[in-house]
Chain A
Amino acid sequence: MKTKINITIIALLALILTIVPLAGCNNNASEPDETTTVVTETDAPEPTSDLIGEGLKAAMLLPGPISDIGYNGPAYEGLLRIESELAYEISYAESVDPADYENVLRTYAQEGYNLIFAHGNQFLETVTIVAEEFPDTWFAVTSAFTTNEKNISGMNLSSHDVGFLSGALMAQMPDVDKIGMVSGAEIPPLVMIYDGLRAGAAYINPEVEIANVYTDARADMAACKEAAVALLDSGSDILSTTAGTGAPGVISAAADAGKYFVGNSSDWSSVDPETVLNSVITDWGSAVVNTATLYAKGELQPIPYMNGIVEGAVYFLEYGEHALEVIPEEVLSRMDTIIEDIKAGKIIIADEVAALPEE
């Protein structure tokens, strides 16, 4: 009896499940014209003048989901931008397993994609292998500081620039003699943000002291708050951090002590608009667009590219209402001058960093 019921249930389920995809197929007949009209509609109002990517195909491999805020999401936005602004034909694979890197890269190359973005340094080893086999395909690897000097470009955001902007702002705030920094893990990009911050502060005032604490990659909010409190106790007047997810801990420590905070990588003002003065944004999307533009023009070189303030990939957000109240007028205008000087090549951040005294 029991088994009989089971069988009927299974049969029913099977029926439903076969019908589901079949129903999909039936709709298929009527739907295409609908979807195609939608596509042409979105294509039509594109006012962009030079669709230099016409006829080119770009693909992107992402280590995580396209829906995140800090890393994969912005890169995917960039991919969408090169589709709409440069007329590239695009495709992407998200949350790719390490076991599948080689397979996905090779498939894209075989499918005739001209430019393949691999969003993360972890792809570099595999890309180097696959790039050998496909000399006519171009690869752009995020955070790659070395390439094969043939058909791989490195696509980096200038961490020095990120640090420089925040350092310059923090050093100018009234009554700031000592800047407290809660660094994430001691890995190259984060060390570079710290160096940039020192350079930025030193550019304003060589006398400003900087205290730094390294946490590790898994530092949570509690651990970061602890580090931040220690920095405040030792006399820091303003805080920043590169600890990513631990940042709210640092912000909350600053808020408790009535001090300010300057963030980076994403907009932290939503955590506490009273405490967060501003955040330096690192925009992977612009880096993607820059790379694709160079490629379409035939100017892309197999070197590690830096995308910074000059390239429009690193910038401060608009200052919030509260920030505008507490930041003195002259600081704001000096920041504008600094940014203009950087863009005009009057300030070269790499030189400023190189001029720093040894720690």
Chain B
Amino acid sequence: MLIELTGESALDTYKVLFEGAFIGKNNLSETLIKSSILLLTGLSYAFVAKVGLINIGAEGQLYIGAACSAAVGIYGTFLPGALHLIAALLAGFVGGMIWGGIVGFFKERFGANEIITSLMMNYIAILVVSYLVHEPMKDMSQTYPYSYRVATSAQLPRILTGTRLHAGLFVALLCLFFYWIYYRYTSSGYRMRVIGQNRLNAEYAGYNVRKNMFAAMAIGGGFAGLGGALEILGVQFRLFDNFSSGYGFDGIFAAILANLHPLGMILTSVVFGGLRNGGLMIQVKTNVSSTLTSVVQSLVIILVLMRIFDRLPIWGKKHSNQSLRKRSSD
């Protein structure tokens, strides 16, 4: 109805949204590029959520990961071929890990509330990146504060010609696979899950709750950092101010929406990535303004959130959610 007020057809707008998200080689690849980063930031939330913590610092971890991988990508040119790329990706992971680890450390040592610390760390990370691109890493040939360009040897190879779809998709899927195996089949993953479901019980069973929480925060941060690495090494090739546009936060929605389920997260990430890209296409192909586009995107998110996912049997494991709620109200 809002759209109608601006004189555009609402139905057409939604059609453009859908087509922009999923129809055509180019659109689909753009969506997948965005989805893989959302998947990683979502994993950052999910991995930590399994031990009963809430990490909303994916955005900051992504920034630091991006900065680290950009640094290696730009200055690590002495590394041969594929090793350079791997080192740059690893740097992203380690950067995010450190940023997540700091939050984990405060939680472990001082019991600081991880919601607050992880949120605050976001701002620090964004400003750190801003400093880096204004001062030490600034490319002097550019008017705008950009870092130097990442060397070609550290750029993620494109996997579909004529589009920007890059190998980062596999990196994201690999991480998802790890997440799934880890919590499903390994004993340390089991321990973490027990901690998440009942901390007192886990302590009673002799698990080192604090260590595990720290480890989960660090690994979760690593995933988000890797997301930042993908953005820099696969799409942007330069570091600059505010490059992320909220991937960290959208990833959290995607993870919650999927109830932390690995397969569900693939689906929700693709839906969210599609919304981002489809929203962009609304702007490009119709005369609907960007702010209204955001409204449409949010509306779709709310609709998707309420109508579809709650009714599908795979995500119907509401009891785990409710037991969490019950405990917190006790």
Binding site for B on A (CB under 8 A): 3, 10, 13-14, 17-18, 20-21, 23-25, 27-28, 31-32, 35, 38, 59, 65-66, 91-100, 102-104, 106-108, 110-111, 121-122, 143, 187-188
* Given A14-B307, A93-B284, A99-B243, A28 contacting B10 (CB threshold 8 A): yes
Q: Is B11 an interface residue (CB 8 A)?
A: yes
The reply to whether B26 and A95 contact each other, CB–CB distance below 8 Å, is: no
CB–CB A107/B283 < 8 A: no
State whether A28 touches B284 (Cβ < 8 A): no
Query: Would you list which residues of chain B between 258 and 295 have a CB under 8 Å from chain A?
Result: 277, 280-281, 283-285, 287, 289-291
Residue from A10, A35, A65, A111 within 8 A of B7 (CB atoms): A35
A21 near B10: Cβ-Cβ < 8 Å: yes
Contact A25 B11 (CB under 8 A): yes
Q: Are A28 and B280 in contact (CB under 8 A)?
A: no
With contacts A17-B302, A93-B290, A98-B240 taken as known, whether A103 is within 8 angstroms of B307 at the C-beta atoms is no
* Minimal Cβ-Cβ distance residue in A for B1: A24
Q: How far is the CB of A132 from chain B (nearest CB, A)?
A: 12
> Which chain B residues (206-226) contact chain A, with CB distance < 8 Å?
none
Q: Do the beta carbons of B281 and A20 come within 8 Å of each other?
A: no
| B36 nearest CB across to chain A (Å) | 13
Q: How many residues of B contact A (CB 8 A)?
A: 36
Q: Which 4 A-B residue pairings sit nearest by Cβ, starting from the closest?
A: A24-B10, A24-B1, A93-B283, A14-B306
Q: Could you tell me the distance in whole angstroms from the C-beta of A106 to the nearest C-beta in chain B?
A: 7
Chain A contact residues: helix, strand, loop or mixed: helix
Inter-subunit contact A111/B10 (CB<8 Å): no
A97 and B164 CA atoms in complex are apart in Å by 16
Which residues of the partner chain A approach B240 to less than 8 Å between Cβ atoms? Answer: 98
Q: A59-B284, A121-B144 are known; give 6 further A-B pairs, CB within 8 A.
A: A17-B299, A21-B10, A24-B4, A27-B10, A38-B7, A107-B281
Which residue of B236, B280, B291 has the most chain A CB atoms within 10 A of its CB atom? B280
How far apart are B275's CB and chain A's nearest CB, in angstroms? 13
CA distance A271 to B113 in the complex (A): 47
The answer to whether A103 and B280 touch across the interface, beta carbons within 8 angstroms, is yes
Candidates A20, A59, A106, A188; contact of B1 at CB < 8 Å: A20
Q: Is B306's CB under 8 angstroms from A10's CB? A: yes
